[in-house]
């Protein structure tokens, strides 16, 4: 039992580091590892993974907030979309054709993977012109990039399309039981014109709120098994703190290189799931 | 390094510092409860240990909720009505999600 504890703990550290750097929850690693690698029931794995998403978000946020990478105003604005989306997703679960959803989201992910590949060499977006809402709400930011050794000032644009995408990513989180960080980062980075690091940190900040509503349900149903979730979550917490410190010193173009294969993999897996169940 | 920090600190919004403190407190309490719980588990204390671990997980679960509550209080204090309203929308959606989620 002690050996399983240690293995699960190490798994948590890895998932925490990756999740914190990329602005994801790390569920992409944790769910298959617990279900396939350790032979745990899917519900236990998903419930543990949901708590891990909160751990990544909380652990990494401290460093990102201090380094001014997290944009709290953008986060609150977009959380309106993710929170109402998650609510819709929870209400619609069982009504909507899941296969169609999987395929739809898969195609969307493949498209953002392609976009990210196209812009892989860009460290930052060229001049972004803010729209009326982002100006009114002062949605802009500025941070000191430790990898580039200079200040980065940015403006946010396409505020309403961003909010709409967040609504659907929230709905995906509610329907598919995922953290949906994989939708949030490209929405901010590719659509709203935020720098990749600010997008990743802000996504990281937001996924905790998205996952918290789901986690309450799993707790109420008794799916959160303390002996499984305890060691993984502790690992994730430590991993996320380490990952956040690492990310601050890395170049955005390097982090993108890690992000692309994960996007592509998730896209293929989602489309495959959708087609398989047809 | 000091110069950079000073430069970055020039326009630091208090909200970031307050939220960072809150999240650090939440993760420290959760980590402490989890560590003690797991240590007791390996020593064979099977009654108390799962309770401590569950308490740690619940503290972690409450942290993001507290974060939105704290943000709404800060924005209200700053009379930033737009963002105070946005935070309350988020809180209401979370509360409704919890309410409806328990149903099935």
Work out the minimum CA distance from B39 to partner chain A, whole angstroms. 10
Query: pLDDT value at position A35?
Result: 80
Question: In angstroms, what separates the C-alpha of B77 from chain A's closest C-alpha?
Answer: 15
Phi, psi of A150 (to 5 degrees): -150, 170
Residue A34 CB coordination number (10 Å): 25
Q: Would you state the pLDDT for residue A125?
A: 61
The tokens 């990310």 sit on which residue? Answer: A247
What's the rounded mean pLDDT across residues A132-161? 88
A61-107 residue pLDDT tens = 998 898 889 999 999 999 999 988 888 877 776 677 777 777 877 88
Angle at A46 between CA A174 and CA A232, to 5 degrees: 130
CA count, 13 A, side-chain hemisphere, A260: 15
- B6 pLDDT band (50/70/90 cuts)? very low
Tokens of B94: 């979370």
> Is A243 an interface residue toward B (CB < 8 Å)?
no
Q: Please name every residue paired with A145 in a beta bridge, in sequence order, or none if there are none.
A: A150
Number of residues that make up chain A? 278
Of B19, B35, B89, the CB nearest to A234: B35
Q: How far is A233 from chain B (nearest CA, A)?
A: 8
Angstrom distances, CA of residue A57 to CA of A41, A227, B26: 25, 21, 12
Q: What ranges in A177-225 are assigned the alpha helix state H?
A: 181-186, 196-221
Mean pLDDT, rounded, for A17-45: 82
A6 contact B CB<8A: no
User: Quick one: pLDDT at residue B101?
Assistant: 65
- The CA distance from A258 to A172, in Å, is 23
Residue with the bigger pLDDT between B25 and A102: it is B25
Between residues A195 and A270, the one the model is more confident about: A195
pLDDT band at B102 (very low <50, low <70, confident <90, very high): low
Region A32-43: mean pLDDT is 82
**CB of A247 within 8 A of CB of A16?**
no
- Record the pTM: 0.85
Residue B12 has pLDDT above 60, yes or no: no
Q: Which of A195, A135, A65, A152 is nearest to B14 (CA)?
A: A65
Question: Chain B neighbours among A 157-176 (CB < 8 Å)?
Answer: 174
The 8-class DSSP code of residue A70 comes to S
State pLDDT tens for residues A40-63. Answer: 887 888 888 889 999 999 999 998
- Residue A179: the pLDDT is 67
CB of A58 within 8 A of CB of B34? no
Residue A4: closest C-alpha in chain B = B42
d(CA A225, CA A116) in angstroms, rounded, equals 38
A137 touches chain B (CB under 8 A): yes
B64 min Cα distance to partner chain A (Å): 5
- For A108-141, write each residue's pLDDT tens digit: 778 778 877 777 766 666 677 888 888 888 888 8
Average pLDDT over residues A195-212: 90
Can you say whether the dihedral through the CA atoms of A211, A217, A218, A219 is positive or negative?
A: positive
Per-residue pLDDT tens over the stretch B69-85: 999 999 999 999 999 99
Q: Is B78 helix (H, G, I), strand (E, B) or coil?
A: coil
The lowest-confidence range among A34-38, A146-150, A233-237, B16-20 is: A34-38
Residue B7: its pLDDT value, please?
A: 42
Residue B103, pLDDT above cutoff 60: no
Q: Is A95 exposed, middle or buried (0-12, 13-18, 19+ CB in 10 A)?
A: exposed
pLDDT for residue B8: 44
What value does the mean pLDDT of chain A take? Answer: 85
Is residue A211 within 8 Å of residue A57, measured between CB atoms?
yes
> Greater confidence, A220 or A125?
A220
User: A268: which DSSP letter?
Assistant: H
CA dihedral A173, A177, A181, A187 (to 10 degrees): -30
Confidence of residue B4 (pLDDT cuts 50, 70, 90): very low
Contact assignment for A234 to B31 by CB distance below 8 Å: yes
pLDDT tens digits for range A185-197: 888 988 899 998 8
Which residues, in sequence order, are bridge partners of residue A153? A142
pLDDT at A40 (0 to 100): 85
Nearest one of A84, A54, A89 to A179, comparing CA atoms:
A54
| DSSP-assigned states of every residue in A106-160 | HHHHHHHHHHHHHTTT-SS-S-----HHHHHTT-EEEEEETTTTEEEEEE---HH
Interface-testing mutation among A208, A219, A235, with chain B (most B C-beta atoms within 10 A): A208
- Quick one: closest CA in A to B72, which residue? A76
Is B82 an interface residue toward A (CB < 8 Å)?
yes
Q: Report the distance separating Cα B25 and Cα A242, nearest Å.
A: 17
Higher-pLDDT residue of A146 and A122 is A146
- Most confident range (mean pLDDT) of A32-46, A117-131, B31-45 is B31-45
């Amino acid at each position: 039992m002690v050996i399983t504890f240690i293995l699960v703990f190490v798994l948590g550290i890895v998932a925490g580091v990756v999740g914190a750097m990329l602005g994801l929850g790390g569920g992409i690693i944790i769910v298959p590892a617990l279900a396939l690698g350790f032979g745990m029931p899917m519900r236990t794995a998903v419930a543990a993974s949901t708590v891990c998403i909160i751990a990544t978000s909380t652990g990494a946020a401290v460093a990102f907030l201090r380094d001014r990478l997290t944009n709290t105003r953008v986060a609150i604005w977009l959380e309106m979309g993710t929170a109402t989306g998650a609510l819709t997703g929870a209400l619609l679960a069982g009504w909507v054709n899941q296969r169609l959803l999987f395929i739809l989201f898969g195609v969307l992910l493949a498209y953002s993977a392609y976009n990210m590949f196209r812009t892989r060499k860009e460290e930052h977006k060229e001049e972004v012109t803010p729209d009326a809402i982002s100006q009114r709400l002062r949605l802009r930011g500025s941070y000191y990039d430790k990898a580039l050794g200079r200040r980065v000032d940015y403006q946010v644009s396409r505020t309403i399309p961003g909010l709409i995408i967040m609504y659907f990513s929230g709905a995906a989180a509610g329907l598919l039981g995922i953290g949906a960080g994989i939708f949030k980062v490209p929405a901010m980075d590719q659509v709203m014109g935020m720098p990749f690091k600010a997008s990743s940190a802000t996504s990281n900040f937001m996924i905790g709120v998205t996952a918290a509503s789901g986690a309450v349900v799993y707790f109420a149903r008794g799916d959160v098994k303390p002996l499984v979730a305890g060691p993984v979550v502790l690992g994730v917490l430590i991993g996320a703190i380490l990952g956040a410190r690492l990310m601050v010193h890395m170049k955005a173009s390097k982090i993108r290189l890690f992000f692309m294969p994960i996007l592509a993999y998730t896209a293929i897996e989602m489309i495959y799931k959708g087609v398989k169940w047809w | 390094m000091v110069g950079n920090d000073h430069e970055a600190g020039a326009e630091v919004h208090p909200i970031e510092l307050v939220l960072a403190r809150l999240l650090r407190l939440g993760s420290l309490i959760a980590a402490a409860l989890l560590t003690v719980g797991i240590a007791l588990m390996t020593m064979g204390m099977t009654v108390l240990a799962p309770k401590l671990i569950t308490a740690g997980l619940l503290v972690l679960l409450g942290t993001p909720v507290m974060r939105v509550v704290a943000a709404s209080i800060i924005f209200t204090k700053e009379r930033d009505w737009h963002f105070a309203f946005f935070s309350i929308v988020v809180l209401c959606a979370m509360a409704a999600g919890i309410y409806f989620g328990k149903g099935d």
